[in-house]
């Protein structure tokens, strides 16, 4: 039987997703300009232009468009792209989403691990030179806008040092065997991935602050009095109990990373979901925007829902009922 607290959160999740569906419909249509410029030009006859507009359903009332949008969204029919003619939105997303996940998931895991270990080191030696160095560096990197970090990484690693490709997902036109192909993909992933990894500062700061509070608890004093090794006290007792806020931070960083991907993938010309959204915004491609934003909304809401479950598992003191 599903616990009561989980049923409540499932209900809240459904409400949030329904709100996201409505907002997804409103935002593209609130953009300035006339959408019909994408399909029509002065060389077309009025009859042809009107037929194109009717084919995309833009001649219908806003309520009719909304009803069709909701029906198609929940039936899995996300329509055809306005700009990429005769290409379904589902096929565009199926092509771009794996590339984004390949970039996002490893980078987030590495950033979390770096933030965790640096936070443990800084919190264990709170007030020392090591703490000041690590925390100061984390604050500086955390305060930098992600698009600015991406441009610096691109300029240094791709242009000045010429170690990595400047753009793209693979070397265009290269016929490579399996292992050279993997190496080629990794070289293209390195710079945008490094940009995401460099945003480890939030995890480090949370871990460091929580460690300093945890080290003052009675059970840490008892563990030291029992003669346990420094490694055991640091990682098995202090860091393990200080980990809970880091779990929350990691889930929240998914939302910020999703927004940052639009800048990163655009700067590096990486053909993922972020670049797809940027192109769809500049071309007023309603169906692509609606489907992309909905997917990201589902990812963020699912991450927060899973956070509740993981938090309750990690800390037996948490009781949602």
CA distance 86 to 79: 10
**Angstrom distance (rounded) from CA 79 to CA 240:** 47
Closest residue by Cα to residue 78 from 90, 70, 96, 86: 90
* Residue 318: pLDDT band with limits 50, 70, 90: low
Query: Residue 103, exposed/middle/buried by CB under 10 A (0-12, 13-18, 19+)?
Result: buried
- Percent of the chain topping pLDDT 90: 0
Q: What is the pLDDT confidence band of residue 36, given thresholds at 50, 70 and 90?
A: low
Position with higher pLDDT, 309 vs 21: 21
> Average pLDDT for residues 38-67, to the nearest whole number?
68
At 44 the pLDDT is 59
| Domain-wise residue ranges, the chain | 4-75, 98-314
Which is higher by pLDDT, 36 or 282?
A: 282
147 by Cβ neighbours in 10 Å (0-12 / 13-18 / 19+) ranks as middle
28-50: average pLDDT: 63
Label residue 45 by pLDDT band (50, 70, 90): low
β-bridge partners, 88: 80
Q: In CATH, which of 1.10.357.10, 3.30.43.10, 1.10.3720.10, 1.20.120.160 is domain 98-314?
A: 1.10.3720.10
From the centroid of its chain, how far is CA 85? Answer: 28
For residue 262, what pLDDT is reported? Answer: 83
Question: Tell me: the pLDDT tens digits for 91-101?
Answer: 888 888 888 88
Q: Are 208 and 268 in contact (CB under 8 A)?
A: no
pLDDT over threshold 80, residue 248: no
Structure confidence at residue 88 (pLDDT): 84
Highest mean pLDDT of the ranges 8-12, 217-221, 293-297: 293-297
Q: What are the φ/ψ torsions at residue 67 (nearest 5 degrees)?
A: -60, -45
Pick the residue with more confidence: 306 or 154?
A: 154
Cα atoms in the Cβ-side hemisphere of radius 13 Å centred on 186? 6
pLDDT, position 315: 62
* Average pLDDT of span 251-274: 80
What is the tens place of the pLDDT at every residue in 200-243?
Answer: 777 888 888 888 887 777 777 777 777 777 777 777 777 777 77
Q: Does position 321 have pLDDT exceeding 60, yes or no? A: no
Total Cβ atoms within 10 A of residue 214: 18
A 10 A CB-CB count for 47 gives 7
- C-beta atoms surrounding 129 within 10 Å: 8
Q: Which of 34-43, 50-59, 269-278 has the lowest mean pLDDT?
A: 34-43
Mean pLDDT across the chain: 78
CB 26 within 8 A of CB 294: no
Taking the CA atoms of 109, 110, 112 and 117 in sequence, report the sign of the dihedral they define: positive
Q: Has residue 58 got a pLDDT over 70?
A: no
Q: Is the pTM of this model over 0.85?
A: no
Helix (H, G, I), strand (E, B) or coil at 148: helix
pLDDT at residue 6 above 70? no
- Predicted local confidence at residue 23, as pLDDT: 83
């Amino acid at each position: 039987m599903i616990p009561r607290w989980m049923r409540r959160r499932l209900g809240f999740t459904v409400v949030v997703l329904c709100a996201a569906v409505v907002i997804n419909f409103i935002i593209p249509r609130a953009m300035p300009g006339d959408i019909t410029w994408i399909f029509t030009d002065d060389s077309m006859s009025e009859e042809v232009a009107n037929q194109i507009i009717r084919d995309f359903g833009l001649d219908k009332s806003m309520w009719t468009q909304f009803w069709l949008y909701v029906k198609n969204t929940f039936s899995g029919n996300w329509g055809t792209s306005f700009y990429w003619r005769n290409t379904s939105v589902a096929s565009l997303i199926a092509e771009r989403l794996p590339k984004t996940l390949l970039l996002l998931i490893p980078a987030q895991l590495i950033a979390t691990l770096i933030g965790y270990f640096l936070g443990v080191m800084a919190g264990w030696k709170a007030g020392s030179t090591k703490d000041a160095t690590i925390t100061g560096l984390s604050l500086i990197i955390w305060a930098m806008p992600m698009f600015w970090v991406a441009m610096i990484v691109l300029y240094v690693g791709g242009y000045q040092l010429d170690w990595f490709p400047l753009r793209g997902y693979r070397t265009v036109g290269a016929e490579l065997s399996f292992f050279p192909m993997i190496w080629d993909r990794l070289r293209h992933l390195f710079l945008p991935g490094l940009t995401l990894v460099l945003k480890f500062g939030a995890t480090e700061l949370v871990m460091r602050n929580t460690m300093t509070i945890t080290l003052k608890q009675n059970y840490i004093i008892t563990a030291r009095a029992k003669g346990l090794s420094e490694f055991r006290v640091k990682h098995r007792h202090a860091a393990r109990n200080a980990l809970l806020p880091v779990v929350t931070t990691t889930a929240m960083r998914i939302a910020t990373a999703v927004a940052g991907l639009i800048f990163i993938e655009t700067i590096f010309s990486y053909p993922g979901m972020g670049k797809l959204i940027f192109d769809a915004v500049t071309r007023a491609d309603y169906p692509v925007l609606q489907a992309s934003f909905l997917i990201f909304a589902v990812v963020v809401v699912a991450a927060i829902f899973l956070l509740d479950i993981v938090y309750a598992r990690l800390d037996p003191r948490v009781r949602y009922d």
